[in-house]
Each structure stands twice: as structure tokens, then as C-alpha cells.
Structure 1
Amino acid sequence: MTEDPYAPPFEEEAPPAPVERAPRKSAAIVPAQNIAGRALVVVIAIMTFLSCITFGAVTLVRDTALMWENQISREATIQIKPVADLDMDSALTTAANIATEFDGVKGVRIVDRAATTRLLEPWLGSGFDIEQLPVPRLIIVTIDENAPPDFAAMRDTIKTAIPSATLDDHRTWVDRLVAMAHTTVTIGVAILVLMLSATVMTVVFATRGAMDGNGHIIEVLHFAGAEASFIARQFRNRFLFTGMKGAAMGGVAAIVIFIVFSWWSSRSMATPQGDQAAALFGNFAIGSAGYLGVLMMVAVIGSLTAATSHATVVAYLGDLEGGHGEA
């Protein structure tokens, strides 16, 4: 049979093109989103917030105590009580001259009648005659902090010249402030340790729950040859992200609280309430060191979350190997 010269050339059928399939996305050992993960973020945020508030409060009290201590240690007070046959003006001048003679005294200031009246007005009201009241008069002695005077000798000299006069170097108040500051720092550190311990326990339970929910996958990977470090790294990375997310939320909330209190303190500075608060706690500003401490607290809690989950997974896999070895 002759071929038709006008027939089209024979073409072989091309093989079907391979169907391109999208690469299967491997499922994570630790689910990215689950109820336990979201709850853990909230718990870590709350713990971080409370830890940062505690740290800021300790910093605020410590700074305020140091401010009080510095102010008190720079001054001493001579008090002269009015008694019969005492010329108060002469006694004030005599006591001031005696204090000036001691080395370490930088200045002496007699609190005059007008200033004494203003000090008593919150309790006695206005319009009273201070001369008709047995009110002690005060002398403020400014001292050199680096080279304070001999208070014992000054006290004896003033007492000899003016029997009704007393010298207060505020040492009792300074000792109480130092003790209060140390106690506050100790209590704050103890509270921080308790909160960090609670965070660790929460992460342990959350890690155990995540491992129980994915136990079959972990066992298959482990006995198929996956190293414990690989499995632990998956949990560590997931919990590091969870811990940093919750810690950042709590740290930001704490910083906002400190900024709001500082703003309120600055706005209320001219009011009686604001003046009293400023006298007790300063301007509610924790300073750059306090904010740096908050950031460090966020980093510590995030890192602690990751380290705790890693240790929990390693311990779990160790128990798993031990259990199968005994079986």
C-alpha cells in the first residue's frame, strides 16, 4: 500500500505532563494555635505584669528612701523649748553661734516666727499668736555629708549653754529608712522569686499538656531515630515565642501604668494631694534604670519559659526511654 504523499506526517502522542502537586506542609509537633497556648500567653502576661509592677515599686521605694536619707543626712535640727525666764531670741542666737563653731557645719538657719506659724497652720489654723503658745523654736544646721561634725560634742555644748535645747541629728530616722529600704527590697525579691517559680510551674504543666496531646507523634519520631535535642528544640522554639509574646504584653502594660502615674504626679504637683504624694514617693518616676529593669524582666521570663520547656521535654523523653527499656 503506497503512502499518500499529501497526507500529514505521523506525529507520536506526547506523554502526559506530570501533575505538579503543592508540597505538603509538614505539621508542627507543637501546634501554633491552641487553647493551652493562648491561655499560657495570658498567664505569662499577667505574671510579667505583676513582676514588673513589683520591680518598679521596689525601685521607687528604694530611690525614695535614698532621697530621704540624703536630705536628712545633710541637715540636723536644734530645738529650743520655751521655759520660764528664757529669752528665746537670745537663746536662738547663742545656739546658732555654738553650732557654727564646729567643723563640718556648712550653714545655720534660724526658723523665724513666720515660718514656724506656717508649719503649724495645717493643725492650728490661721490667725493664732505664736507668742501665746509654748511652741519650740527650731534651728536648721546644714552639715557636710563627707565630713560631718562631732554631734556628741555639739549636743553637750548646746545643752550646757541652754538646758532646754536638744540636738537631733536624725540618725534614728536614717537608720529606720535604711532598715525599711532593705526590708522592702527583700520582700520584693521574695515576691519576684515566687512569681518566677509560679511561671516555671505553669510552663511545666503547659509543656506536659502539649506533649500529652502530641504524644503519639513524639513517640513515633523518637523511636524512628529523631534525637531528643531535635524534639526538645521544637518545643523550646514554640514556648520561647509564646513566652516572649506574653512577657512583652505584660511588660508594655506595666510601662504604661508607670507612665500614667508619672504623668498624674506631674499634673498634680501643685495640689495638696500631689505634694503629699511627692513628699512620700517622689514623682512616681522609676527612671531609666527602672524601665531597663522591666525590659530585662521581659527577657528573663521569655528565656525562662523556653529553658523550662526544653528541660521538661528532655526529662520526659528520658523517662520514655527508661520505661521502654524496662519493658
Structure 2
Amino acid sequence: MIDAPRASDTPPPDQSRSRKREAALRPTAPIVPPSNVSGRALIIVIAIMAFLSCLTAGAVTMVRSTASAWQSEISRELTVQLKPVEGLEMDAALEEIRTAALSVPGITAASIIDRAATERLLSPWLGDDFDIDALPVPRLVILTINEESPPDYDSLRTAISNAVPQAALDDHRAWTDRLVAMARTMSLLGLGILGLILAATAMTVIFATRGAMAGNRHIIEVLHFVGAETGFIARQFQKRFLLIGLKGAGIGGAAASFVFLSLAAWQALTRATPLNDQATALFGRFLLPWSGYFWIAIVIIVIAGMTTLTSRLTVIRSVREIDHARANPAMVEVD
């Protein structure tokens, strides 16, 4: 005979509701304790890798942008070079070249580099007291072409040669080809470095995840023994590593963006100085276009996603190893 519950054994309604509220408000501890995952060290490593990756992506974008700007500037202009020879009236010959070039369709402007401008171009190397007439210095005529309707280079070269046989037309194709080859080489090199950095990041995450798995193996075994699926266990780890990946990649990407902004600010503040002129001549402008910051954001997302996916795959593989060890106890004893 089962005794009916006494009134004293039943908690009052107010006390029951209070216990339910306390249970609802009580924080749920994570299955994978954060202290068991070496988060700080991994965040620092991912931040360093992300910083190097974002620097590489930004540098590749900057090189391509600078090469494209140089190529555009070179392709908009042509140069006619006239070397001084005996019996040649230089000023009259330059005017004939200018007139002949303007008669060809597709040439929008032609400007003669006068003596004063030529002396200013040569003064950094020859000084201010040299005699330009005593040196075989060629004179230049700069031609501006119509980009939408460029001229026929053979017809232009023929017209200039008929006017002044000593003149030579330079269409800058050699320089353009070199710039394109340089931009492609730098892009391929940058992509290769970026791939190596991402591979190193993936290996770091794999080792960190395996370390976390080793520290939490008893938790994983208990969860798996009571019926927790592999996907559920993997999600507990990937949430933790997603947060770590976002923090590390965000810090590295922000640091790389700060470097590019600092270089652009330095170049703007030190304009018209020898150091700035040399840096600009060698590397171009340190101005990262908006597409560069877009690629930095893409790198941050890729590193965070790669961290999450790598940890998930590592956890799934580790759980399978646990299942395999349980299915073959003899192998575990032999080992």
C-alpha cells in the first residue's frame, strides 16, 4: 500500500516557483572549461599570423595599384627624343616634330621640354653650373595621346621621321611590359607567402586543439559514453575556437591596418623631403586603396573560419580515435 504524500512533504507554491526561477537564472557552465584551452597563447599566435597575412595582402594590393597607376601614366604619353648632331638647328627641329605629331589623329597635345626644364632635370646629377650646349644632351617632346582613340604608332613614327630623320619615338612599351611582369611576379610571390602563413596557422590550430582535447579527454569520453554525438562535442570546441580565431585575427588585422595608415600619414606629413622622395621613387605611394582594406577583412574572416573548421575536424578525428580504441581494447593494452 502506497502512502499518500503528506501536506508537509509538498513545498509551498511560492517556494516551488522560487526554485524554478533560481534554476532558470543559474548560469550554465560550459562543457569545455575556458581554462582548459590555452586561449591567450593561441590568440597571440593567431594575431601574429593574421598580422603577417594582412600585411602581405595589403602589400600585394598596393603593388598592383601602384603598377596600374604607373602603367596608366606611361600609356597616356609618348616621348620623342632628338639627339644633337652637327648642323641641326635644335629649336626649329623640335617645332617641326611638334607640328608633325599634332597632324596625326589620336595625338591631343605635344609639349617641348625647353632648355630650362632640361637643366632642372639634369641638375641633381650634374649640378647647377654645367653647360648644356657642351654636352650631347638629347631634347624631348612629350606627346599626349587620346586613350579612347589612340594613334597608329607606325603612322606617327613615319610622320616624325619624315619631318626630322634624327628623331626617335619611344612608346614606352618596354617599360609597360616590365611593370606588368613585376606586378605579376610580386602578386604570385605574395600569394605564395600568404598560403604558407595560412598553412602555418592551420597547423598551430591543430596542435592547440589536440592539446585541448588531451586536457579534456575525460570529459569527452564521459559525454560520448552517455550518448553525446560527435557533432555535439565538436560544436562545444568550435564555439570556443571561433571566439579565439575572431579575437586573434581581428587584433592582427587592426594592427596591419594601423601600419598602412601610419605609413600613409608619414608620407603625407614628410612630403617634399629627401627621404620621402627616395621612398616614393622606390616603392611608390604608401596609400592602401579601399580594396586593400577589403582584402584585410577577407583575411580576418578566412583565418577565423579556418580556425573553427580545423578545430572541428580535429575533434571529430579524436572522437573517432576514442571509438576505435574502445572497439579494440587489445590494441590499447598492447600499446
Whole-Å separation in 1 of the counterparts to 2:151 and 2:216: 73
Moved more, 149-158 or 180-189: 149-158
Task: Name 1:11's counterpart in structure 2.
Answer: none
Whole-Å separation in 2 of the counterparts to 1:31 and 1:116: 74
Indicate the SS of the match to 2:30. Answer: coil
Indicate the SS of the match to 2:141. Answer: strand
CA-CA distance at 1:279 after TM superposition: 4.2
After superposition, the C-alpha distances for 1:169-205 in whole angstroms (9 at most, x for unaligned) are 0011011111111111111111111111111111111
CA-CA distance at 1:258 after TM superposition: 1.0
CA-CA distance at 1:280 after TM superposition: 4.3
Task: Name 2:79's counterpart in structure 1.
Answer: 77
Match of 1:237 among 236, 239, 249: 239
Whole-Å separation in 2 of the counterparts to 1:310 and 1:85: 82
Unaligned stretches of 5+ residues in structure 2 = 1-7, 330-335
Task: Name 2:3's counterpart in structure 1.
Answer: none
CA-CA distance at 1:155 after TM superposition: 1.9
CA-CA distance at 1:158 after TM superposition: 2.3
Indicate the SS of the match to 1:140. Answer: strand
Whole-Å separation in 1 of the counterparts to 2:305 and 2:87: 74
Task: Name 1:38's counterpart in structure 2.
Answer: 40
Match of 1:278 among 268, 280, 295: 280
Paired residue type of 2:89: D
When normalised by structure 1's length, the TM-score is 0.89
After superposition, the C-alpha distances for 1:19-56 in whole angstroms (9 at most, x for unaligned) are x8x87866534331357321111110000000011111
CA-CA distance at 1:94 after TM superposition: 1.3
Whole-Å separation in 1 of the counterparts to 2:30 and 2:255: 31
Q: Percent identity?
A: 52
Indicate the SS of the match to 1:33. Answer: helix
Indicate the SS of the match to 2:34. Answer: coil
Task: Name 2:5's counterpart in structure 1.
Answer: none
RMSD of equivalent CA atoms: 2.3
Choose between structure 1 and 2: higher helix proportion. 2
Whole-Å separation in 2 of the counterparts to 1:224 and 1:32: 22
Whole-Å separation in 2 of the counterparts to 1:75 and 1:280: 21
After superposition, the C-alpha distances for 1:266-323 in whole angstroms (9 at most, x for unaligned) are 0011213223333444431112221222122112211111111011111221232233
Conservation of the 8 A alpha-carbon contact between 2:37 and 2:212: no
Conservation of the 8 A alpha-carbon contact between 1:29 and 1:218: no
Conservation of the 8 A alpha-carbon contact between 1:79 and 1:137: yes
Conservation of the 8 A alpha-carbon contact between 2:101 and 2:107: yes
Task: Name 2:214's counterpart in structure 1.
Answer: 212
Paired residue type of 2:152: D
Conservation of the 8 A alpha-carbon contact between 2:50 and 2:303: yes
After superposition, the C-alpha distances for 1:2-25 in whole angstroms (9 at most, x for unaligned) are xxxxxxxxxxxx99x99x8x8786
Q: Is the counterpart of residue 252 in structure 1 residue 254 in structure 2?
A: yes
Moved more, 114-123 or 93-102: 93-102
Conservation of the 8 A alpha-carbon contact between 1:81 and 1:137: yes
Larger radius of gyration: 1
Whole-Å separation in 2 of the counterparts to 1:101 and 1:160: 13
When normalised by structure 2's length, the TM-score is 0.87
Conservation of the 8 A alpha-carbon contact between 1:266 and 1:283: no
